[in-house]
């Protein structure tokens, strides 16, 4: 059903799910084969019965009395019931297998995305990630649902050829040749027309969702600057690309349907003369068996039409789930931090401040430290090891991080806080108190269960920042890393937040690395470094700025 093998990792996941769902897939295949046989026999027998009954009626009352119509009519009813029941079993079993497989596949792919190197995972936009985890995984569904198509086609071909052969062996042979021609033409049309269109549909879907996600993220700015029409035009342009791909796929389906119709006519035209000399009812049986023989390939044609999308989806998913290329090394045994600026070994509860002009590299340095960017050699050391030789996961475990750009999920305050790890309500409220956000949450009738909206749109900028700060407080790590934690806060709220931060650090014995343009946060620090920019080899250049006694 595919024109190339599955990429390795996704192929292994799909193969594992096929194995897990093999009983349902076998049941669906048996149902499909039964449907094909019942349909061929039903139509062939109906043609024979109607023609035979008509001839008996013309021959006179004696022939009518001799004609046995009870057995054929009962058999026709049986075949109709059998076809309906088998179709139900095929659809239910096939789709149940697909849905259960996809329900297990999506979490595995999300885990694969989350475990890729940070530079790779964070480079994927939210819209593109959504397209791959939704549309691309949905396209893979055909690899399960359509597994019964070859069995149904095989059973339909065999039963139709056998029925036609009962009228004349030559008729059976002509039908086999016509069905072979139909299958070959369908494969050719699928490769030339349907496969490229299907692949383009998947790519265009990702491009559209990527564009819509980017526009949605800046929708307030677009409204403020009166760019609504421009944004609508950008979305329409991306949607037009998807429309063109879907039209091309529909046209490919139309050509394949037209080919099937032409082959059906050719098969009937070839089978009828081949039954010359056979009784007229047998000729009718052979002609209608030819129609059902070509029709039995409909499932395969449908699978071929969707094959391009499935192949492209597996390729895109495999790129998403590619094995980590990050260098693996020894994990640090201590949280001792050494910066290239002076070579001193610093350990919690030391508090370290980073200052410098905007764009100098302060955020770049801490993101390299915590494992959100690829590290540069000889820039910093953790536990005596160069951070470039430590896997991002091992670096990340040493830090609790509140970024400058706070990201929130479209859920409740509780759900956003629990991203840091399990905690009871008392602990959650304590973190909100230290972030000066508890009063705001208590004022909401739902409290911790109040929803924040997409990326926290129901909160103000300062409230979003403090919720991110509270979430960082809940993570147990040797170092607390804060990037502009009081930006956008009024002086009174800033003083409240910093006083609570000082108390929290003293109680926990936690180290602090803080980035800030404001003087108040860096007054908490024992040491301050100034970030001067990047060196030619990409390292962040630091100079020791200030050192004061421990408080």
The per-residue DSSP string of 113-182 comes to HHTS-HHHHHHS-HHHHHHIIIIIHHHHTHHHHGGGHHHHHHHHHHHHHHHHHHH-HHHHHHHHHHHHHH
Residue 122 phi, psi dihedral angles, 5° rounding: -80, -15
CA separation for the pair 331, 346 (Å, rounded): 18
Residue 17 phi, psi dihedral angles, 5° rounding: -70, -35
Calculate helix-pair angle for 491-508, 461-473, nearest 10 degrees. 10
The separation between the first and the last C-alpha atoms of the chain, rounded to the nearest angstrom, is: 70
Question: H-type helices in 190-227, by residue range?
Answer: 195-217, 219-224
CA separation for the pair 255, 410 (Å, rounded): 45
The two tokens of residue 378 are 């000889």
The pLDDT value recorded for residue 341 is 59
CA separation for the pair 38, 44 (Å, rounded): 10
Distances (CA, A) of 50 to 81, 200, 281, 283, 291: 19, 48, 8, 12, 16
- Calculate ∠ Cα 93-95-99, nearest 5°: 120
Return the residue matching tokens 């909206």: 453
CA separation for the pair 350, 337 (Å, rounded): 10
- Contact (CB, 8 A) for 316 and 132: yes
Calculate helix-pair angle for 149-167, 22-59, nearest 10 degrees. 20
CA separation for the pair 174, 291 (Å, rounded): 13
The two tokens of residue 82 are 């059998």
The pLDDT value recorded for residue 371 is 85
CA separation for the pair 528, 514 (Å, rounded): 9
Of 154, 152, 150, 166, the closest CA to residue 287 belongs to: 166
DSSP string, 186-200: HHHHIIIIIHHHHHH
The two tokens of residue 348 are 């919690």
Rg (CA), the chain: 34
195: Cβ–Cβ under 8 A, 6 or more apart, which residues? 3, 307, 308, 311
Instruction: Walk along the chain (551 residues) in steps of 10 and give the mean pLDDT of each run.
Output: 52 82 89 87 80 66 58 83 90 87 82 71 73 80 76 86 89 90 89 90 88 84 89 92 93 91 91 88 87 79 80 79 56 83 82 90 90 86 88 86 89 94 94 94 94 88 92 93 90 92 92 92 91 86 68 42
Domains of the chain: 8-319 (1.20.1560.10), 337-547 (3.40.50.300)
The two tokens of residue 337 are 């931090």
Rounded to 10 degrees, the C-alpha dihedral 18/19/22/28 comes to 10
CA separation for the pair 527, 249 (Å, rounded): 63
Residue 301 phi, psi dihedral angles, 5° rounding: -60, -40
The pLDDT value recorded for residue 427 is 95
CA separation for the pair 347, 479 (Å, rounded): 9
The pLDDT value recorded for residue 340 is 74
Question: H-type helices in 296-344, by residue range?
Answer: 298-320
List, edge to edge, every strand of the sheet that includes 380-382.
345-346, 337-339, 380-382, 385-386
Query: 513 - beta bridge partners?
Result: 352, 481
Judged by DSSP in three states, 449 sits in helix
The pLDDT value recorded for residue 327 is 47
List, edge to edge, every strand of the sheet that includes 527-534.
399-402, 479-483, 511-515, 351-355, 527-534, 540-547
Of 184, 182, 162, 183, the closest CA to residue 173 belongs to: 162
Of 140, 443, 474, the closest CA to residue 310 belongs to: 140
Longest distance between any two alpha carbons in the chain, whole Å: 121
Determine the distance from the C-alpha atom of residue 362 to the mean position of all C-alpha atoms in its chain, rounded to a whole number: 34
């Amino acid at each position: 059903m595919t024109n190339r093998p599955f990429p390795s990792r996704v192929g292994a996941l799909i193969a594992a799910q096929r194995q897990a769902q093999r009983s349902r897939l076998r049941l669906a295949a048996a149902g499909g084969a039964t449907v094909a046989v019942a349909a061929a026999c039903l139509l062939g027998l109906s043609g024979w019965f109607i023609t035979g009954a008509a001839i008996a009626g013309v021959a006179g009352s004696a022939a009518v009395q001799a004609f046995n119509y009870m057995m054929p009519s009962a058999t026709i009813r049986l075949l109709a019931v059998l076809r309906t029941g088998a179709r139900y079993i095929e659809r239910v079993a096939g789709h149940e297998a697909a849905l259960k497989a996809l329900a297990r596949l999506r979490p595995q792919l999300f885990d694969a995305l989350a475990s890729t190197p940070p530079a790779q995972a964070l480079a994927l936009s939210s819209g593109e990630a959504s397209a791959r985890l939704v549309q691309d995984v949905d396209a893979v569904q055909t690899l399960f649902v359509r597994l019964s198509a070859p069995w149904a086609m095989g059973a339909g071909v065999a039963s139709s050829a056998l029925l036609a052969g009962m009228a004349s062996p030559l008729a059976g042979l002509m039908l086999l040749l016509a069905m072979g021609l139909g299958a070959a033409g369908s494969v050719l049309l699928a490769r030339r027309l349907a496969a490229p269109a299907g692949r383009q549909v998947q790519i265009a879907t990702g491009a559209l969702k990527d564009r819509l996600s980017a526009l949605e993220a800046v929708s307030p700015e677009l409204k403020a600057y009166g760019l609504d029409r421009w944004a609508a035009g950008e979305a329409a342009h991306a949607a037009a690309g998807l429309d063109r791909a879907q039209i091309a796929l529909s046209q490919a389906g139309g050509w394949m349907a037209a080919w099937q119709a032409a082959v059906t006519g050719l098969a009937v035209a070839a089978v009828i003369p081949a039954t010359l000399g056979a009784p007229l009812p047998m000729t009718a049986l052979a002609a209608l068996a030819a129609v059902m023989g070509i029709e039995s390939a409909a499932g395969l044609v449908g699978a071929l039409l969707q094959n391009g999308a499935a192949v492209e989806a597996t390729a895109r998913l495999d790129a998403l789930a590619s094995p980590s290329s990050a260098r693996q090394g020894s994990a640090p045994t201590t949280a001792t931090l050494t910066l290239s600026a002076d070579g001193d070994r610093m350990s919690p509860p030391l508090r370290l401040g980073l200052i410098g002009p905007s764009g100098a590299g302060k955020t770049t340095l801490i993101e390299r430290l915590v494992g959100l960017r690829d590290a540069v050699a000889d820039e910093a050391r953790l536990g005596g090891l160069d951070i470039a030789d430590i896997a991002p996961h091992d670096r990340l475990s040493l830090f609790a991080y509140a970024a400058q750009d706070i990201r929130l999920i479209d859920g409740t305050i509780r759900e956003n806080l629990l991203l840091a790890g399990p905690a009871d309500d008392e602990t959650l409220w304590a973190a909100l108190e230290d972030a000066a956000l508890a009063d705001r949450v208590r004022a909401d009738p739902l409290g911790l269960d109040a929803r924040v909206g997409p990326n926290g749109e129901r909160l103000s900028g300062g409230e979003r920042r403090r919720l991110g700060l509270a979430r960082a407080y809940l993570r147990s790590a040797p170092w607390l890393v804060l990037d502009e934690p009081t930006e956008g806060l009024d002086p009174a709220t800033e003083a409240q937040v910093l006083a609570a931060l000082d108390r929290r650090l003293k109680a926990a014995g936690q180290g602090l690395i803080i980035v800030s343009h404001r003087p108040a946060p860096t007054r908490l620090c024992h040491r301050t470094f100034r970030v001067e920019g990047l060196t030619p080899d990409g390292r962040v250049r630091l100079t020791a700025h200030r050192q004061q006694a421990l408080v």
